[in-house]
């Protein structure tokens, strides 16, 4: 995500930290996993250096999913939460200017998508997506509602735990990492075939946001903290970079 030399030395990737591409309990991986040796494709200069993301690309409510799809100022339905954290490198240094995009289901577990098959209803005041740019210390924050779990056609009775998708862009569109955030205390995390592809509990826990009651807004919103580590042996698990970052 950056060409700067890491402070404190080079950190080797730990490929065993990340899920294998082929995991039969996650049926889609059977068709998607590579059947031949992987190739490393060098990035061009234009891919690495541009475009540069700036605050001028953001709308006033891009980081407020409770209101950014409302037509008349009516709030989205569901438990109100704030998610905050930092995007950091392997040494804990904040990564400034990273574009963080998020998308999620509504409180009933229904995505606003043309091919959504779950019978839970749509919320007319919830679009389910937003974005924010990290500050000088790598910090980000957005407001939303807690998404609901939903069934999916993997095995007979598989359900996804409540989660929010994250996309982190570096200096250009080619520098993109995608992951998911789960919620502390959700028992469904440990029953999900997708989560179960991660080899260790410690790795799974990098995907779990912690409830920060000290930061909660009384009579308004609970607060969850979710830090994203881009590189190193214990990087956050990224679904589009199984070999590490």
Residue 155: active-site member: no
| Residue of 163, 182, 224, 231 with catalytic role | 163
Tokens of 126: 């919830």
Q: Is 217 helix (H, G, I), strand (E, B) or coil?
A: strand
| Residue of 165, 222, 234, 241 with catalytic role | 165
| Residue of 69, 84, 150, 224 with catalytic role | 150
| Residue of 84, 111, 140, 224 with catalytic role | 111
Q: How many CB atoms lie within 10 A of CB 184?
A: 14
Tokens of 129: 């997506």
Query: How far is residue 195's CA from residue 159's CA, in Å, rounded to a whole number?
Result: 11
Residue 160: active-site member: yes
Query: How far is residue 217's CA from residue 245's CA, in Å, rounded to a whole number?
Result: 35
Residue 150: active-site member: yes
Tokens of 211: 């409830």
Closest CA to 105 of 82, 76, 132: 76
| Residue of 86, 131, 143, 160 with catalytic role | 160
Place of tokens 């807004």: 217
Q: How many CB atoms lie within 10 A of CB 217?
A: 12
Residue 18: active-site member: no
Q: For the chain, what's the residue count?
A: 245
| Catalytically active residues, by annotation | 111, 150, 160, 163, 165
């Amino acid at each position: 995500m950056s060409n700067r030399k890491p402070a404190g030395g080079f950190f080797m990737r730990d490929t065993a930290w990340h899920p294998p591409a082929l995991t039969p309990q996650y049926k889609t991986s059977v068709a998607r996993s590579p059947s031949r040796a992987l190739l490393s494709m060098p990035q061009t200069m234009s891919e690495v250096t541009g475009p540069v993301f700036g605050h001028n690309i953001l709308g006033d409510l891009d980081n407020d999913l409770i209101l950014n799809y409302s037509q008349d100022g009516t709030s989205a339905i569901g438990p109100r939460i704030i998610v905050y954290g930092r995007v950091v490198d392997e040494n804990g240094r904040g990564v400034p200017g990273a574009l963080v995009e998020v998308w999620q289901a509504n409180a009933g577990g229904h995505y606003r998508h043309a091919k959504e098959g779950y019978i839970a209803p749509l919320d007319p005041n919830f679009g389910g997506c937003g974005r924010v740019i990290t500050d000088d210390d790598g910090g980000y924050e957005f407001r939303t509602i807690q998404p609901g779990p939903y069934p999916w056609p993997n095995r007979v009775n598989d359900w996804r735990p409540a989660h929010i998708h994250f996309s982190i862009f570096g200096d250009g569109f080619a520098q993109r990492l995608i992951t998911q955030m789960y919620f502390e205390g959700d028992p469904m995390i440990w029953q999900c075939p997708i989560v179960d592809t991660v080899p260790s509990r410690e790795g799974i826990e990098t995907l779990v946001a912690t409830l920060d009651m000290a930061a909660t807004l009384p009579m308004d919103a609970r607060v969850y903290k979710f830090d994203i580590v881009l590189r190193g042996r214990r990087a956050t698990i990224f679904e589009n970079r199984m070999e590490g970052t």
